[in-house]
């Protein structure tokens, strides 16, 4: 039997680390960008929810209407520096007030939604006489 020629240890692995870095670096960057895009999306969702909630709370008092609800939602969007949003909308059914707010989402990674919409519904304040309770 002949002995196998002696090889330096690790010679067959030469260049493997470079190949791994070339493959893993774009994946790691994509993962970081997905995390940032998720944070931006959830921030926009929180801004929309806060504006809708404030608008519904402003429209709930007895003599307030949809105008007060829309104005409060728009003011909240302005205060929270939400850009590129559609105007809030409100509807009053007599018993409840509903405020809908849409906020644009900044894109870093494709395939995320372009906007996020939140709706808040609150009962309208009403007067009930003591004899009717």
0.85 exceeded by the pTM? no
Q: Tell me whether residue 9 is in a domain.
A: no
User: Does residue 76 have a pLDDT over 60?
Assistant: yes
Give the domain range for residue 88. Answer: 18-132
- What pLDDT shows up at residue 10? 54
2 found inside a domain:
no
Residue 54 has pLDDT above 90, yes or no: yes
Position 55 pLDDT exceeds 60: yes
Residue 132 or 84, more confident: 132
Contact partners, residue 56, CB within 8 Å, separation at least 6: 69, 90, 97, 98, 99, 120, 121, 122
**Is residue 63 in some structural domain?**
yes
pLDDT digits (tens, 9 = 90+) for 86-132: 789 999 998 999 999 999 999 998 888 999 999 999 999 888 889 88
Q: Is 11 left (phi over 0), alpha (psi -120 to 50) or beta?
A: alpha
Residue 86 lies in a domain: yes
- Per-residue pLDDT band for 50 (boundaries 50, 70, 90) equals very high
pLDDT confidence of 6, banded at 50, 70, 90? low
If one counts the domains in the chain, the total is: 1
Domain annotation covers residue 93: yes
* Domain-located, residue 6: no
Structural domain contains residue 1: no
In a domain, 12, yes or no: no
Integer CA distances (angstroms), 34 to 19, 67, 94, in order: 24, 38, 43
Q: Please state the rounded mean pLDDT for residues 81-89.
A: 77
């Amino acid at each position: 039997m002949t002995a196998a020629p002696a090889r330096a240890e690790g010679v067959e692995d030469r260049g493997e680390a470079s190949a791994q870095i070339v493959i893993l670096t774009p994946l790691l960057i994509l993962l970081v960008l997905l995390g940032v895009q998720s944070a931006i999306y959830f921030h926009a969702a929180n801004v929309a929810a806060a504006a809708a909630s404030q608008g519904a709370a402003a429209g709930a008092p007895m003599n307030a209407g949809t105008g007060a609800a829309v104005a409060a939602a728009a003011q909240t969007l302005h205060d929270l520096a939400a850009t590129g949003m559609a105007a809030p909308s409100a509807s009053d059914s007599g018993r409840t007030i509903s405020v809908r707010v849409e906020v644009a989402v900044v894109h870093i990674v494709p395939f995320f939604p372009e906007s996020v919409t939140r709706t808040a519904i609150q009962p309208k304040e009403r007067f009930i006489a003591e004899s009717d309770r």
